[in-house]
Structure formats: structure tokens, C-alpha cells
């Protein structure tokens, strides 16, 4: 009987324990109104924890706003510079890896170019060229309006001689004329090609106006050709139009 009584009294005691007090925001707010600024130790624990967290937050914000944020900018700039340097390094490394091939290609290009320059005649032989153009035009049935020899233009490795041609004919005759010019035993390039129909009509084959400029070339004297130059592609372009 004694044992049962003890168990019942223990259960009754556990039931009569004071329940935990729930958080009350009004009480928490009023605790700030009665703080003693001269005695920080007497502040309630919730107030101490709140003030401590606020101080930590303010310090963290100041630390980030000044030194940390500036360091972040420096890190971002350094990262961008690193990417740029890596790109430059890859480009230079690729060029260095293929340097021997590039040098061989440049040497071959210089050799081919010198061979082409050596194939140019020493003089333009304008009378022979004009006769060839005239014969080609007669064979193509076009009618010349003007053939004028313009001033020579000195390039770095050669001298070019422009010739302006104006003629009348139809499309087929002009096509035959251009093909005939290409077949002449001279280096000739065609530039500024212009064809227009002055009197459009549908009743007959139109007579067209043809205006173009042809260029022939001659080599310079040996003492006029520069020994070194980096503009070789530009001279090649003048013959490739």
C-alpha cells in the first residue's frame, strides 16, 4: 500500500508542475523601456541576445561595405584579366606551335610572288596591246567609241598601265570581247566594268554602252624593287580583281 501511495503522489506532483511561459512580444518590447543604461548586467537575457545580434549584424555590414566589397571588385577585375591573359596565351601558344609551318608558307609565297614578278615584261608594249584589243573588238563585232591610254601607276613591285575602253554592242558581243581579252598573251586585268542601255526597247536586240578599264603590267628595274616589304598581299590583290 505504501508503494502505491508513493507512485500516486509522484504522478500528482508531475501534473502540478508549472507550464512553460510562452513568448509575449508586448512583454519583450516593454523590457526595452525599463533598461538601466548604467547596469548592463541587469538586462533581461532576451534583450542581451537581441542587442548582441544587432551589434554583430552592424559590424558584419560595415566590414562587407568597406574592405570586403572593395576586395570583391579587385577579385572580379583580376578574374577578367586572367581570362584575357589565358586567351592571349592560347593564341600565342598556337602560333608558336605552328611557327615552322607559317615560316614555310611565307617563304613559298615569297618565292611564288617573285616568280610572277619576274614573268612581267620589262615594258608594256602599248602599241602591240592596243592592236590586240582592236583586233579582239573587230572579231567580237563591237564598235569602239574611245580607247585612251591613261597615266602609269607605280606600285611597290611593279608598274601598272590603265587603259580606258568605251564601245557599243550587245550582251553576246561584249561577252565575246571580254573572253578575247582574257585570251591575249599578256597579263591583263579588268576593272570598273559598266554596261547600260541608253534606249531601252523590246522590239530588237538593244545596243548597249560598255565602259571598262583594263590594266597591263610591267616589272620595275632591279634597283627600284624594295628588298623587304610586308605589303606583298596588297600587290597581289591588284592583279586579282
Q: How far apart are CA 233 and CA 236, in angstroms?
A: 5
pLDDT for 235 equals: 38
Please give the pLDDT value at position 56: 81
pLDDT band at residue 232 using 50, 70 and 90 as cut-offs? very low
Amino acid 199: pLDDT: 73
Contact between residue 162 and residue 215 where contact means Cβ atoms under 8 Å apart? yes
Cβ(174)–Cβ(195) below 8 Å: yes
pLDDT at 162: 93
Q: What is the DSSP letter of 67?
A: I
pLDDT digits (tens, 9 = 90+) for 70-126: 677 788 888 889 999 999 998 888 888 888 888 999 999 988 887 877 777 777 788
Q: With 60 as the cut, is the pLDDT of residue 240 above it?
A: no
Instruction: Please tell me the distance from the alpha carbon of residue 61 to that of residue 65, in angstroms, as a whole number.
Output: 6
Q: According to the model, what pLDDT value does residue 22 have?
A: 61
The H or E element that residue 152 is part of is none
Cα 195 from chain centroid (whole Å): 37
155 and 218 Cβ atoms separated by less than 8 Å: no
Is residue 169's pLDDT more than 50? Answer: yes
Residue 4's pLDDT is 46
How do residues 190-210 score in pLDDT, each as one tens digit?
998 888 887 766 656 778 888
Task: Specify the pLDDT at position 27.
Answer: 62
Amino acid at each position: 500500500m505504501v508503494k502505491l501511495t508513493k507512485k500516486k503522489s509522484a504522478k500528482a506532483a508531475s501534473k502540478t508542475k508549472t507550464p512553460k511561459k510562452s513568448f509575449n512580444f508586448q512583454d519583450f518590447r516593454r523590457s526595452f523601456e525599463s533598461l538601466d543604461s548604467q547596469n548592463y548586467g541587469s538586462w533581461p537575457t532576451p534583450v542581451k541576445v537581441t542587442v548582441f545580434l544587432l551589434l554583430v549584424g552592424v559590424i558584419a555590414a560595415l566590414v562587407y561595405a568597406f574592405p570586403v566589397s572593395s576586395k570583391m571588385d579587385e577579385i572580379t577585375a583580376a578574374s577578367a584579366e586572367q581570362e584575357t591573359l589565358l586567351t592571349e596565351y592560347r593564341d600565342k601558344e598556337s602560333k608558336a606551335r605552328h611557327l615552322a609551318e607559317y615560316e614555310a608558307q611565307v617563304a613559298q609565297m615569297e618565292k611564288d610572288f617573285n616568280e610572277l614578278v619576274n614573268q612581267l615584261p620589262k615594258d608594256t608594249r602599248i602599241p602591240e596591246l592596243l592592236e590586240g584589243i582592236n583586233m579582239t573588238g573587230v572579231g567580237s563585232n563591237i564598235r569602239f567609241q574611245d580607247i585612251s591610254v591613261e597615266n602609269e601607276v607605280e606600285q611597290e613591285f611593279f608598274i601598272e598601265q590603265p587603259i580606258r575602253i568605251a564601245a557599243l554592242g550587245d550582251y553576246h558581243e561584249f561577252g565575246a570581247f571580254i573572253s578575247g581579252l582574257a585570251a591575249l598573251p599578256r597579263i591583263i586585268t579588268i576593272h570598273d566594268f559598266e554596261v547600260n542601255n541608253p534606249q531601252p526597247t523590246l522590239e530588237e536586240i538593244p545596243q548597249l554602252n560598255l565602259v571598262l578599264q583594263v590594266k597591263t603590267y610591267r616589272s620595275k628595274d632591279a634597283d627600284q624593287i624594295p628588298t623587304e616589304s610586308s605589303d606583298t598581299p596588297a600587290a597581289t590583290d591588284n592583279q586579282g580583281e
